Amino acid sequence: MRSAGFLTDRQRQLAWLGFLLAAFQAPLAAKLIDDASWLFAVVVAMVVATVILADDAQRRRPVTAEPAE
């Protein structure tokens, strides 16, 4: 049996949506905006991706049996 991650299924879907939106917005903003504010979208996408990867790692971890008392 596998352990559940720290994100619910709904939170996980929203995290993927947020990642995709930020990842697609960054190059578009870089093309349209003269300053480097588009880097914020890159940082947000990286943070959300890190959370998704951490949740994945926790979901893949096997459940340890608790010792009987």
- Domain, as residue range, for 51: 9-60
At residue 14, the 3 state secondary structure works out as helix
Domains in the chain, number: 1
The answer to whether residue 65 is domain-embedded is no
pLDDT tens per residue across span 16-31? 999 999 999 988 888 9
Question: Are 59 and 2 a contacting pair, CB within 8 Å?
Answer: yes
Look at residue 14 and tell me if it is in a domain: yes
Amino acid at 17: L
Domain presence at residue 4 = no
Q: Is residue 28 part of a domain?
A: yes
Structural domain includes residue 1: no
Note whether residue 67 is domain-resident: no
Domain presence at residue 19: yes
68 inside domain: no
Estimate the share of the chain in helix, then strand, then coil, as percent rounded to the nearest 5: 65, 5, 30
For residue range 2-55, what is the model confidence (pLDDT) as tens digits? Answer: 568 889 999 999 999 999 999 999 888 889 888 888 898 899 999 999 999 999
